Amino acid sequence: MSNPPQEQLNAASPQQRSDARRNRAKVLAAARDLAADGDLGLPFNVIARRAGVGVGTVYRQFANPAALLEALILDRLEMLVRETVAVVAEEHDPGIALRRVLQAAFHALLADPALATVLASPRFEYPETTKLGAALAATVTDLLTKARATRQVRPDVSADDLRRLLSGVHHAVRAGEASPELADRYLHVLLDGLAPG
């Protein structure tokens, strides 16, 4: 099922729009709880039951579980993009800035497994997520290019490699004993591995 056309949304009465907003908030809250419990598959029937709405209501709001997951992480992704922009503005050494951006991204993934799932995906469902993902990728690519030029990073590493490696390290931390020391050690192994041989 797809989202209703904009004309239909605009034609709805204020009460209907209010109900739709309320239902969307219920669906998002139920999905957030489910994700916090570790179920990132976000089955719509379970979400509908938890939200106290019909499954059709969930489908009217979100085309599929991936779209719902993106809606859940949008704020956190915006914060991560803002944080990376701030790092670039204050840190003029591209190698240090790249490390700081990767550390920020890694800690954001650890704090929100839903964000990790979305960023591990090769494509996004919504234009907002696509725009933010592109901004994050552009920042990392720019830092990587500058760090390579100053020989602080090995020449064969791409921004997509970094995305995949962060995702892999995140998975390794989640699969093992969840300790801050282990997470830091894994991250430092990754960061140290970026140095030219």
Angstrom distance (rounded) from CA 113 to CA 36: 8
Read off φ and ψ for residue 64, nearest 5 degrees: -165, 170
Confidence of residue 3 (pLDDT cuts 50, 70, 90): very low
pLDDT band of 113, cuts 50, 70, 90: confident
* Res. 15 pLDDT band, cuts 50 70 90: low
**pLDDT tens per residue across span 139-190:** 999 999 999 999 999 999 999 999 999 999 988 888 877 778 888 999 999 9
d(CA 75, CA 87): 18
Mean pLDDT, residues 39-48: 91
Structure-token pair, residue 13 = 């009465």
Residue 187: per-residue pLDDT? 93
Cα–Cα distance between 69 and 78 in angstroms, integer?
Answer: 14
CA nearest to 68, candidates 91, 95, 47, 97: 47
Q: How far apart are the first and last CA of the chain?
A: 51
**For residue 21, with 0-12 CB atoms within 10 Å meaning exposed, 13-18 middle and 19 or more buried, which class applies?**
exposed
Residue 12 pLDDT > 60: no
pLDDT classification of 44: cutoffs 50, 70, 90: very high
Decide: pTM greater than 0.75: yes
Could you give the 3-state DSSP secondary structure of residue 191?
Answer: helix
Mean pLDDT over the full length of the chain? 88
**What digits encode the pLDDT tens for the residues 61-73?**
999 999 999 999 9
- Identify the pLDDT of residue 14: 60
